[in-house]
Amino acid sequence: MARNNAIQIRRGADASAPTGSMLAGEPLFSSDNAKLYIATTATEKSWVGAQILNQSALDNAFGERSDTKLATSSAIYDYVEARIAAKDALSELVDTTISSLATGNMLLYDGSDSWDNKVMSGDATINSSGALTIASGAVEGSMLNANVPGDGLEISSNKVRVDLNGASLDRSSSGMKIADDGVVTVHITDANVTNAKMANSSITFGADSGTDDPVSLGETIDIVGTANEVNTVVSGNQIQIGLPDDVTIAGNLTVSGDTVTTNVATVSIEDPLVFYASNNAGNAVDIGFYGKYRPSSTDLYCGLSWDASDTEFILYEGNQAVPSTAVDKSGTGFTLSDLRLGAIHAATVDGGSY
């Protein structure tokens, strides 16, 4: 009967591998970590192989790092390709800050450890199309003076000087020309620019009367108020228009609001008959006048009014209710007042009936 033959080399756990009585060149197998050793002396051995990992094992091995495991080129290729695919966007990079995305933002290195999402600001801005805008006033004459080729561009309060590397422009009676010295000097004075040379040489002021008044540039505009009606004051860059302390209105004054408050010591009225309740269309309001007096710490009201509900005049006092469109005869303290007269003419005194 045939037998299966087998050859087994010396074996055992690596932790209990023999440390003596070995023969140089003797193969040894560690059953606990699948390593193959060759004895170099009677007491020493050398590892002669490493475990080869597949893709799944490679993923785990790379996560824990190992000096005793190998991988095939195919496994390494698949592993690297998967890792690159996982880091193919800026937001997936650990040293990149992508937050608060906005139009025209850009990535800027912070000088330390990351690329950050920032918006361009200051003297220049950029939009989503890449168009750069330089802020008004960001470029000064001194910047151009120092950076234009040749003698450069000189800008001062009343002169613009331009060197065109030997050929230049200069002002003449017929406009601009190239000067012989290769330098352009442009002088702008008050005499060079007149109102006649400008497309719009005046400002037109209109009035309620319909008459327009064109004012040429350079002229003075006087803002004059009506005497005793309007005052005008010019100070610095401001024009103040207001009423004087004493106001006289030559025409009529119509006030369409709900309340007119007069804080004066004396009121003088030319009209001998004062018209009250001009909008009374349904006899629904009392007509008269009232005043406030304060004999103690309580405001009290007295007055004379036509009672719309009882169609009679009443003279009252002591009322703590402020009259509005009608006198509250049931108000706290309301009582009819006494009346002292010199005489009563053509009057009927009727005591009534019961």
Q: For the chain, what are the domain ranges?
A: 11-49, 52-85, 97-134, 202-242, 287-336
According to the model, what pLDDT value does residue 21 have? 81
Distance CA 197, CA 194 (A): 5
Between strands 132-134 and 153-155, the pairing is: unpaired
Per-residue tens of pLDDT for the chain, all 354 residues:
566 788 888 888 776 666 678 888 888 888 887 778 888 888 888 877 666 666 555 555 555 566 666 777 777 777 777 777 776 666 566 666 666 677 777 877 777 877 777 887 888 888 877 788 888 877 776 666 655 555 555 665 555 555 555 544 444 444 455 555 555 555 555 556 677 777 777 788 777 766 777 878 777 777 777 777 788 888 887 888 888 878 888 888 888 888 888 888 888 888 888 888 888 888 889 999 999 999 888 999 999 999 988 888 999 999 999 998 899 999 999 999 999 989 988 888 777 777
Contacts of residue 350, defined as CB under 8 A and 6 or more positions apart, other chains included, come to none
According to the model, what pLDDT value does residue 58 have? 56
Q: Which two tokens stand for residue 159?
A: 């002169």
Distance CA 188, CA 176 (A): 13
Q: Which two tokens stand for residue 175?
A: 């406009």
According to the model, what pLDDT value does residue 145 have? 61
According to the model, what pLDDT value does residue 175 have? 46
Q: Report which DSSP code applies to 120.
A: -
**Which amino acid, residue 226?**
T
According to the model, what pLDDT value does residue 299 have? 94
Three-state DSSP at 76 gives: helix
According to the model, what pLDDT value does residue 333 have? 94
